[in-house]
Amino acid sequence: METTSKTTHGKRFDGKYCYNGRDLGAVCCPARTVFRVWSPEAERVELSLYRDDAGEAFETLPLKRGERGVWSAVVEGDLHGTYYDYEVEAAGRTARTADPYATACGRNGAHSMAVNLARTNPEGWASDVPPPRQAEQIIYELHVKDFSLHPGSGVPQEYRGKFKAFAALDENGRPPACMEHLKSLGVTHVQLLPIFDFATVDEGGDDGQFNWGYDPLNYNVPEGSYATDPSDGAVRVRECKEMVQALHRNGLRVVMDVVYNHTYHADSWLERTAPGYYYRRRWNGALSNGSGCGNDIAAGRAMVDNYIANSVLYWAKEYHIDGFRFDLMGLMTVELMNRIRRELDLVFGPGEKLLYGEPWQAGDSPMEADTHPAVKANLSLLSPGIAVFCDNTRDAVKGSCFDGRSPGFVNGGTAQGEAVLSAAAGWRDGAWEFNPRDCSQLITYLSCHDNYTLWDKLVLCVSPGEGAPGPDAFTQYREDLMARNRLAAFICFTCLGTPFFQAGEEFARTKLGDGNSYRSAPEVNRLDWDRAWRFGALTDYYRGLIRLRRALPGLRDKSPEAWDRVTDRTVYGPQTVSFRLAGGGPCGEDLLVVYNAAWEVCHIELPAGRWIVLADGQWAGQRRAAGQGGEWIAVPQCSGLLLQRLRHSV
């Protein structure tokens, strides 16, 4: 495996040209706008100004080269709403480019826009603050368009699939049904799939287009297809802020899914302004492809790291974003992630902003010298406060995400009992070659936007026959699948770590067996709010689990000692296991947890003391007598059981 890139842009180059100012882009004030672009090897840079996002330039003027490769120009007058781009002559090529540091743009992002950001703030923005941070963070992954596109969302037609859907109110001043549902779940954070400007949706096209958004075009600009007017760069900025404001108002913090590991085109604005600098290359000069998307951003170089860290800080400050989820974080460096954690803590306070990501790559990628990839093998090098997705738990519970027919513990597997116990204890035992420093590093989940939904995975594993199930198999209600879904959720919410789940998982979301719906029809991807009401009992079960999770300190404990309290791990059979979660200190409750994935009743002898049931396979959030030590309790088929020992009992 290569450790360094083939490049002339090494440390000597960074030492000569690294610019640490945070004023690149167009700094727009009422009296004048200052344009600055980093293009260290350019021979000429020219600025063109436009009155709209599609017309001819009304003025062209040269930029002046300054120190450390920064070119600049000052234009007098109020340029708010004026569009612009650059012509850059560098490396034997003349290219027209948008501004990679732009904070606004026109339709489809080819023209940047000068914007006075203070003029984009919605009413009350200065007083917008997130809801108080909770003792437990529970994350709900959501796509902007999916949320409100279905007619049953209750959102007015003109706002469906848009940022404005989150702020919509009916004639009585109440939020629409989709927002009421979201508020009622009890989650603390909404993680939004990419909301920066991405390349694969025509912002002037119709609502029949769809993409998850993992194809960056303009990193510091909101996506125009989510705005009511994509041709006016200020509209998308203001409406994105309104969305964040509305989520805060409804008691939810906002996490932004960020994709700094690659760009949609290798011939990006970054490449056109600084040819050869921003991308990793192999020994023969070819672009590396650790992202699986054709290119890798060269994290580890000074100006790349500045770009990413400053972008994160920009979204946190300007848009009041409360956390960041890094796509393919394994293509970032440990050093960069630790820097981002440090800078967020300095500005907002320790741990105030969530920071986590995928600790893997899609393929090998050459790293800069003296840097370390932010992958699972390097968890011990990551600063406290940086968590990672735990695919080990996901696969132990429901089977391989890449093979729809491969079962896990809840859907027919007979070899995952020990792994599920390792998951419950935060993988401290090193099973599956996974060694987190403590459970605060773990994001515990069953499904996300990638691969099959949890429900579809269950259908594929449990449905009889050799062929692919038909559409009816995914849409119909089946109690056996509901039991497996409830058990999977029960396991997720009783494992150490931070719980995370995909929007709609709580009402058996289906994509009809589509395991990679990144550009499938909106009808496949949208949340079906009619299904939400039909599968409401499952949603109630998720709500109960969330309430229990937030109420029980033992379950939400993230201290280094948390996994020491997981004791008496017992395997009764290939599909039935249990463990104790001992009390002590602030974690006063003593819990007994049973996972029974077998399709038959099992009987468990109660330990000493008097016990009550807090959750079983049907109801989460109860308090009924279970029995005393030495007595036997039945655990129904395919269900979980959470019991609490009463204090001072014998």
**pLDDT tens string 82-131:** 999 999 999 999 999 999 999 999 999 999 999 999 999 999 999 999 99
Which pLDDT score is estimated for 468?
79
As a whole number, mean pLDDT of residues 343-369 equals 97
349: left (phi over 0), alpha (psi -120 to 50) or beta: left
**Confidence at 589, pLDDT banded by 50, 70, 90:** confident
From the list 327, 391, 395, 589, the catalytic residue is 327
Answer whether 85's CB lies under 8 Å from 100's CB. Answer: no
Which pLDDT score is estimated for 1?
41
Among 511, 420, 514, 410, smallest CA distance to 462 is for: 410
Residue 432, burial from CB neighbour count under 10 angstroms (0-12, 13-18, 19+): middle
Residues of the chain above pLDDT 90, percent: 91
Which segment of 333-342, 418-427, 428-437 scores lowest on mean pLDDT? 428-437
Answer whether 523's CB lies under 8 Å from 471's CB. Answer: no
H-assigned helices in 425-478:
454-462, 471-475
Answer whether 520's CB lies under 8 Å from 210's CB. Answer: yes
**CA-CA distance, 188 to 201, in Å (whole number)?**
30
Beta-strand runs (E) in 393-451? 442-444
| Residue type, position 392, single letter | N
**Confidence at 423, pLDDT banded by 50, 70, 90:** very high
* Domain ranges within the chain, ordered by starting residue: 20-119, 134-264+302-555, 564-645
In the annotation, is 358 catalytic?
Answer: yes
Token reading at 402: 């890449």
**Confidence at 647, pLDDT banded by 50, 70, 90:** confident
Among 483, 489, 487, smallest CA distance to 506 is for: 489
Domains 20-119 and 564-645 share a fold: yes
**CA-CA distance, 574 to 467, in Å (whole number)?**
27
Residue 264, burial from CB neighbour count under 10 angstroms (0-12, 13-18, 19+): middle
What's the pLDDT tens digit per position in 20-34? 999 999 999 999 999
From the list 99, 141, 232, 358, the catalytic residue is 358
Residue 129, burial from CB neighbour count under 10 angstroms (0-12, 13-18, 19+): exposed
What's the whole-model pTM score?
0.96
Answer whether 281's CB lies under 8 Å from 274's CB. Answer: no
Which pLDDT score is estimated for 586?
66
- The per-residue b/e assignment along 59-86, b for 16 or more CB within 10 angstroms, e otherwise, is eeeebeeeeebbbbbebeeebbbbbbbb
The secondary structure of the chain in percent helix, strand, coil, rounded to multiples of 5, reads: 30, 25, 45
| Residue type, position 68, single letter | R
Token reading at 45: 């840079």
Which pLDDT score is estimated for 171?
82
Which segment of 47-51, 258-262, 283-287, 307-311 scores lowest on mean pLDDT? 283-287
pLDDT over 80 at 587, yes or no: no
As a whole number, mean pLDDT of residues 496-505 equals 98
Does the domain at residues 20-119 carry the CATH identifier 3.10.50.30? Answer: no
Does the domain at residues 564-645 carry the CATH identifier 2.60.40.1180? Answer: yes
**CA-CA distance, 135 to 76, in Å (whole number)?**
51
CATH number given to 134-264+302-555: 3.20.20.80
pLDDT over 60 at 255, yes or no: yes
Token reading at 305: 């790291």
Which segment of 118-132, 214-228, 518-532, 587-601 scores lowest on mean pLDDT? 587-601
Q: Whole-number mean pLDDT of the chain? A: 95
Which pLDDT score is estimated for 7?
60
What is the residue-wise DSSP string for 528-559? -HHHHHHTHHHHHHHHHHHHHHHH-HHHH--S
What's the pLDDT tens digit per position in 546-569? 999 999 999 999 998 999 999 999
As a whole number, mean pLDDT of residues 490-506 equals 98
| Residue type, position 416, single letter | Q
Which pLDDT score is estimated for 389?
98
**CA-CA distance, 637 to 396, in Å (whole number)?**
19
Helix or strand (DSSP H, E) at 185: helix 177-185
Beta-strand runs (E) in 327-458? 354-357, 387-389, 442-444
What's the pLDDT tens digit per position in 267-290? 999 999 999 999 999 989 999 999
pLDDT over 50 at 332, yes or no: yes
pLDDT over 90 at 429, yes or no: no
Answer whether 164's CB lies under 8 Å from 149's CB. Answer: no
Which pLDDT score is estimated for 416?
94
Q: Which residue has the tokens 């019991």?
A: 643
What's the pLDDT tens digit per position in 367-407? 999 999 999 999 999 999 999 999 999 999 999 998 889 99
As a whole number, mean pLDDT of residues 173-190 equals 96
Which pLDDT score is estimated for 583?
80
Q: Which residues pair with 139 in a beta bridge?
A: 189, 500
**CA-CA distance, 438 to 563, in Å (whole number)?**
8
In the annotation, is 327 catalytic?
Answer: yes
Which segment of 39-43, 392-396, 431-435 scores lowest on mean pLDDT? 431-435
H-assigned helices in 471-535:
471-475, 479-492, 522-525, 529-534
**CA-CA distance, 27 to 263, in Å (whole number)?**
24
As a whole number, mean pLDDT of residues 328-335 equals 98
Which pLDDT score is estimated for 645?
95
As a whole number, mean pLDDT of residues 39-63 equals 96
580: left (phi over 0), alpha (psi -120 to 50) or beta: beta
Half-sphere exposure of 615 (CA within 13 A, CB side): 30
**Confidence at 308, pLDDT banded by 50, 70, 90:** very high
pLDDT over 70 at 584, yes or no: no
